[in-house]
Amino acid sequence: MPGRTAAERGREVRQKLLAAAAELIPELGWNAVTTRVLAERAGVAAGLVHYHFPSLQALLGESAVGVMRRVMSTAGPALDSAETVEAGMDMILGILDGYTGNDSTSLVFIEAYLAATRDENLRGELTALVADFRRDLARWLGERGRDRPEETASVLAAAIDGVLLHRALNPELTSAAVAPVLCKLFTPAESDGSDGSRKAGSR
């Protein structure tokens, strides 16, 4: 398009490269994405990869984190619209039902987690991303009167991650199957009503 500035053209090239990386990471696997293949998919010269990004790994990391952030950003509005913890769990797990574990977005999550074990910078970015999610979850739990919201949020976030990662191996991990189990985390143990001890015969 005539009249575009150099900065606008640069932003367009960056977005093409990031979009191409988001396609190639699940298609080929993180370590199989090369500068040449990435540039060909984006339709740009190979030299532009290192012109716009410090390294190929930095490009892949930025692309993957962007995909993950977009997915995780849907959780906050869903939770805030839920009046009860149970309704919130239904909403979050319902969102996860859109991912099979073998789809491109799920594979980006899996590949990014694996790559983060070898890439300190990526590990730091994912740590911050997950911490933001846990903080929002803890706030939401606290606002609904749940005890130990920070600890509960940590366990719950890990459980949600596990559902996403395991769904490729066990398609039966749907929201309908998982929600009742996770909701038990928020259900107080039954007591006999006098000294707070559990009812006889309960486990």
Which sign, positive or negative, has the C-alpha torsion 70, 73, 113, 48? positive
Residue 186's pLDDT band, with cuts at 50, 70 and 90, is low
Contact 111, 29 (CB under 8 A): yes
Which tokens go with 7? 């900065």
Which sign, positive or negative, has the C-alpha torsion 62, 111, 131, 97? positive
Q: What residue numbers bound the domain in which 170 lies?
A: 6-186
- Tell me the three state secondary structure of residue 101: coil
Kindly state whether residue 18 falls inside one of the protein's structural domains.
Answer: yes
pLDDT tens-place string over residues 95-134: 888 888 889 999 999 999 999 999 999 999 999 999 999 9
Residue 72's pLDDT band, with cuts at 50, 70 and 90, is confident
The whole-number pLDDT of residue 3 equals 67
- pTM for this entry: 0.83
Q: What is the per-residue DSSP string for 2-55?
A: TT--HHHHHHHHHHHHHHHHHHHHHHH-GGG--HHHHHHHHTS-THHHHHHSS-
Kindly state whether residue 200 falls inside one of the protein's structural domains.
Answer: no
Kindly state whether residue 39 falls inside one of the protein's structural domains.
Answer: yes
d(CA 199, CA 118): 49
- Given a cut of 50, whether residue 75 has pLDDT beyond it is yes
d(CA 67, CA 86): 27
**Cβ-count burial of 4 within 10 angstroms (0-12 exposed, 13-18 middle, 19+ buried)?**
exposed
d(CA 141, CA 150): 8
Report CA Rg, the chain. Answer: 21
Kindly state whether residue 83 falls inside one of the protein's structural domains.
Answer: yes
Report the CATH number that the domain containing residue 59 is assigned in CATH.
Answer: 1.10.357.10
- Tell me the three state secondary structure of residue 103: coil
Kindly state whether residue 51 falls inside one of the protein's structural domains.
Answer: yes
* Count of the separate structural domains present in the chain: 1
Kindly state whether residue 178 falls inside one of the protein's structural domains.
Answer: yes
Kindly state whether residue 82 falls inside one of the protein's structural domains.
Answer: yes
Kindly state whether residue 46 falls inside one of the protein's structural domains.
Answer: yes
Q: Mean pLDDT over all residues of the chain?
A: 86
